[in-house]
Structure 1
């Protein structure tokens, strides 16, 4: 308010010239008005430019954030797809095993194999696993020492 009052006082203290030149030159007022309009136009353009630049920068930042989010989600989707594929293959294997376990002959064969059960009249022989020749040499070398 103080600044405005001082400007008003300056305008009140200024007396327009009233001489022949000022009265004869009507273009002076128009030139002054044009200059004032030009200043206002420049101010409007400056404000509009600042707003436009801020909007463009904001949109660019928003776009880059969206593209980063999209890339992260695509990576996550690829991981989830891999997990899904693994789960589907495991489910398929389990379904196959379920169908085998529904067969009585398969269960009997599995029981004989895993638990050394036998049918009547069968004799079960266990054969030790074959040992590599290199393992035999190292065992015999250890015994010699």
Structure 2
């Protein structure tokens, strides 16, 4: 038991009312702080989630861009090769050389001799380089 006796008068009553009001205001301030803090935490969480997703998407797009760049370079190289081939096919000398080597065509007065490959003479038969490339 407390040996202190409370004095009840106008001053103490007013002081107790002021303390009650102060405690009520403190509770309101704490609640507001908690709500605002929770909202800020939620906003920061959403922003971090968006940033993480954006980073992943950017990485995927970068990888896709690199792959597209590789494909583009291959297509450019292929285009250059095809342009070179078109130039060669428009050259009569080139066509004549191809016709002579592939189809054993000859000009007037020429005689064509078929010589065996060096590998055939040794007893091993090896396919020409052209056929090997097509099989791979």
- TM-score, normalising length from structure 2? 0.76
2:63 maps to what in 1? 75
1:57 maps to what in 2? 45
Partner of 1:21: helix, strand, or coil? coil
Equivalent in 74, 77, 80 of residue 89 of structure 1: 77
Look at both structures and tell me which one has the larger radius of gyration over its CA atoms: 1
Flag the structure with higher helix content: 1
CA distance in 2, matches of 1:34, 1:121: 123
1:21 correspondence with 2:8: yes
Aligned residues: 117
Matches within 5 A, 1:1-145: 21-25=8-12, 26-131=14-119, 135=124
- TM-score, normalising length from structure 1? 0.72
| Residue 27 (structure 1) shift | 2.1
| Residue 106 (structure 1) shift | 1.2
Question: Structure 2 vs 1, CA of residues 78 and 134 (structure 1 numbering), >3 Å: closer, same or farther?
Answer: farther
Structure 2 gaps of 5+ residues are 1-6, 126-136
| Residue 95 (structure 1) shift | 0.4
What do you get for the CA RMSD once the two structures are aligned? 2.0
